[in-house]
Amino acid sequence: MKKRSNFKVCMRLIGLVNPLAGYMTLAVLLGTLGHLCAVMIPVFGGMALLDILGMSVHFTAKTVFVAVLIFALLRGVLRYGEQYCNHFIAFKLLALLRDKVFAALRRLCPAKLESKDKGNLISIITSDIELLEVFYAHTISPVLIAFLMALFMGKIIGHLHPVLAAVALVAYLTVGVIIPLVTSRCSKDNGLSFRRQSGELSTFVLDSLRGLSETLQYNAGQERLAEMQSRTEQLSAQQKAMKDRAGTNTAMTQTAILLFDLLMLFVASALLLSGQINFSRALIAVITLMSSFGPFVALADLGSGLQNTFAAGNRVLDILEEKPVAEEITGKTDCEFSGASVENLSFSYGGEEILQNVKANFPEGKVIGVTGKSGSGKSTLLKLLMRFWVAEQGEIAVSGHSINEINTTCLREMQGFVTQETHLFQDSIANNLRIAKLDATQAELEEACKKAAVHDFISKLPQGYETHVGELGDTLSGGERQRIGLARAFLHDAPFMLLDEPTSNLDSLNEAVILKSIAEQRKGKTVVLVSHRASTMRLADSVYSVEHGRVS
């Protein structure tokens, strides 16, 4: 995880507000006017008191009463308008952020996401992004409002006496800037640690749910539960520490406000006794300061809470700024498939060499077998052909063009890839199949499933092709999921088919049916068939053997 300063995180998050700058300006304007109205209510109340006491003021008690009523009504309307604008900005930006994060995940997939915790990603997409609502709705405009209020209050109190204005500005600076900064520094990296631990707990819970059957089978429930309880208690302890710090921050803020109120009272009294101001000005100055801390208290309260928010923002920015292993290619070559080849291909993963100086040819209309022991690099070769990973050395060519010079959309149209583990979405069988061809007709779905020897099975289900497969396809067996994956490949009907152990979960009868379908559909196609089964390799026109990253 890249560690950024809070200032950098703040600037990056503020940069996202640009499309909604008009709403932000309106929120600041409404918020500033609203706080001014709130200050004027007790100030005009003080003027009414002075009028009742018979002291000279500019307004009568009746005028003051009407003004207070107007200010109170305006305060409510302006506050509503400010909050409406802030929350419109916040939730609009959260939607945009989620869209950006999903787009970033698509760019990073599959290479960069293979090693990431899925629970942690879920935590970022949900709770971390949701936490940024605090920043957009309750941070940006309050900071600007507090700045403007400090200027206005300094001007108003300064009109009474410059020394009183100086006391007020020091008070605002202390409550709105110094205390939040001190609290933020004391929090250090607690917010980042809390968000990380929260993500790890999500990963652990998700992992525990998926492995519930194995946990019950081996009677490991107590150990798993104890570990979950331990992680939860650690997270709760950290959250308690953050809450305690927030409480300390509130106590410091309220103490500072009380001390500055007393200081203003003392200074105003001293100026009154020295004859520099009259009683009316002294009273109005004290009341104005006491009633004007609202926007600065809002800033003070951000001191501890913003650590958590910035930590969430840091994790979201990690996703947005991470560079993919293989950038999507646009604006280059589109071509028709006419064979593929690999020349002097080498590839390492995590410092471990997987493939070394591999040479292979995949002519049009041929079935090419790739065999070898587990871990020899067969699946890696297919992923490199798909350009999920970028080769470190050598060249992979499709139709005579380097795959680094072919538009990614065109390359995907030419390829059909069936992996060892077929992922099924929590949806109907029909919709899971249509991922390969969104506008596929029912007849096309059935034809593809017949080729994959799965049509008869689907037809016998209560809802047929509209049957839901459950989360991760858990209602189906491994062989049934694998045949649906093959049906997707047949439906996509790409000229370059990459099949990674397509019959590993099938019995001999279904294997024979699928191999027969591949043999019948091979005309005009190139099929790369990865398998350790000798029976599967009999279909191949030629076979490459991969041993220790080398091809023979």
More confident residue, 366 or 127: 366
CATH value at residue 17? 1.20.1560.10
- Judgement on whether residues 296 and 196 belong to the same structural domain of the protein: yes
Question: Mutual orientation of helices 294-321 and 6-15 as an angle, nearest 10°?
Answer: 80
On the question of pLDDT at 26 being above 80, the answer is yes
**Considering all CA atoms of the chain, what is the largest pairwise distance in Å, rounded to the nearest integer?**
110
pLDDT digits (tens, 9 = 90+) for 34-63: 999 999 999 888 887 777 777 766 667 778
Residues 477 and 513 reside in one and the same domain? yes
Same domain, residue pair 97 and 183: yes
Flag whether pLDDT at 438 surpasses 80.
Answer: yes
Alpha-carbon 218 to chain mean position: 36
Q: Which of 321, 349, 365 is the last residue in one of the domains?
A: 321
- Verify that 30 and 144 share a domain, yes or no: yes
Candidates 492, 414, 507, 508; CA nearest to 451 is 492
Domain check: are 345 and 393 in the same one?
Answer: yes
Query: What is the span of the domain harbouring residue 73?
Result: 6-321
Q: How far from chain centre, in Å, is Cα 484? A: 31
Question: Residue 333 domain-assigned?
Answer: no
Question: Is residue 378 scored above 90 in pLDDT?
Answer: no
Is there a domain that residue 368 lies in?
yes
Give dist(CA 128, CA 106) in Å, integer.
19
- Mean of the pLDDT values across residues 124-153? 85
Question: Could you tell me if 422 and 344 lie in one domain?
Answer: yes
Q: Which of 266, 290, 321 is the last residue of a domain?
A: 321
Whether residue 314 has pLDDT greater than 80: yes
Task: Kindly state whether residues 399 and 276 are assigned to the same domain.
Answer: no
Does residue 223 have a pLDDT over 60? yes
- Let me know whether 277 and 369 are in one domain: no
For residue 40, CA distances in Å to 59, 71, 150, 387 come to 13, 7, 15, 66
CATH number at residue 394: 3.40.50.300
Read off the pLDDT of residues 317-329 as tens digits, 9 standing for 90 and up: 888 888 888 888 8
pLDDT (0 to 100) of residue 32: 93
Residue 519 lies in a domain: yes
Strand ranges across the sheet with 340-349: 352-362, 340-349, 393-398, 401-402
- The whole-number pLDDT of residue 172 equals 93
Q: Are strands 393-398 and 340-349 parallel, antiparallel or unpaired?
A: antiparallel
- Is residue 251 one of the residues assigned to a domain? yes
Share of the chain above pLDDT 70, in %: 95
Closest CA to 169 of 289, 12, 10: 289
Structurally, the chain folds into a number of domains equal to: 2
- Kindly give the interhelix angle for 179-187 and 221-273, rounded to the nearest 10 degrees: 160
Paired tokens of 199: 């993500």
Are residues 137 and 253 part of one domain? yes
Segment 355-374 shows an average pLDDT of: 88
Please tell me whether residues 314 and 354 are part of one structural domain.
no
Does the pLDDT of residue 297 top 80, yes or no? yes
Predicted structure pTM score: 0.71
163 and 263 belong to one structural domain: yes
Rounded-to-integer distance, Cα 366 and Cα 38, Å = 81
Same domain for 373 and 447: yes
The arithmetic mean of pLDDT across residues 145-165, rounded, is 92
Q: Which of 149-163, 179-193, 491-505 has the highest mean pLDDT?
A: 149-163
Q: Does any domain span residue 192?
A: yes
Is residue 332 included in any domain, yes or no?
no
pLDDT digits (tens, 9 = 90+) for 462-479: 899 999 987 767 788 878
Q: Is the pLDDT of residue 91 over 90?
A: no
- Determine, yes or no, domain membership for 1: no
CB neighbours (10 Å) of residue 23?
17
Sign (positive or negative) of CA dihedral 532, 534, 538, 541: positive
Distance CA 234, CA 240 (A): 10
Instruction: Kindly indicate the confidence band of residue 21, based on its pLDDT and cuts at 50, 70 and 90.
Output: confident
CB–CB of 20/93 below 8 Å? yes
Name the 3-class secondary structure at 342.
strand
Q: How deeply is 305 buried, as exposed, middle or buried, from its count of CB atoms within 10 A (0-12, 13-18, 19+)? A: buried
Gyration radius from the chain CA atoms: 34
